[in-house]
Amino acid sequence: MAKTEVILTHNIVGLGGESDNVRVAAGYARNFLFPQRLAVPVTSANKRQLEALKQRRAEREAHEFNAMTELSKALQKLVCVIKVKTGEEGKLFGAVTAGMIADELKHQFDIALDKKKIHLEHSIRATGEFEIELNLHAEVKGTLKVRVESTTPVAAPVAAPVEEKPRTEKRGKRTETEATEAKPVEAKSKTAKSEKTAKAPKAEKKPKAE
Residue-range domain boundaries for the chain: 3-48, 73-150
Query: Exposed, middle or buried, 198 (CB in 10 Å: 0-12/13-18/19+)?
Result: exposed
pLDDT band for position 46 (cuts 50, 70, 90): confident
Query: Does the pTM of the predicted model rise above 0.75?
Result: no
Pairing of strands 118-119, 79-84: unpaired
Q: Under 8 Å CB-to-CB from 40, ≥6 apart: which residues?
A: 6, 7, 9, 34, 46, 49
R_g over Cα of the chain: 49
Query: Comparing 99-103, 114-118, 124-128, 158-162, which segment has the lowest mean pLDDT?
Result: 158-162
Query: Comparing 32-46, 59-73, 137-151, 165-179, which segment has the lowest mean pLDDT?
Result: 165-179
pLDDT band for position 168 (cuts 50, 70, 90): low
Average pLDDT over residues 174-196: 51
3-48 and 73-150 have identical folds: no
pLDDT band for position 44 (cuts 50, 70, 90): confident
Share of the chain above pLDDT 70, in %: 71
pLDDT for the residue numbered 187:
47
With respect to CATH, is domain 3-48 assigned 3.40.50.10860? no
Could you give the 3-state DSSP secondary structure of residue 83? strand
Under CATH, what is the fold of the domain 73-150?
Ribosomal Protein L9; domain 2 (3.10.430)
Which residue did the predictor score with more confidence, 151 or 129?
A: 129
Whether the pLDDT of residue 4 is over 70: the answer is yes
pLDDT band for position 67 (cuts 50, 70, 90): very high
pLDDT for the residue numbered 210:
42
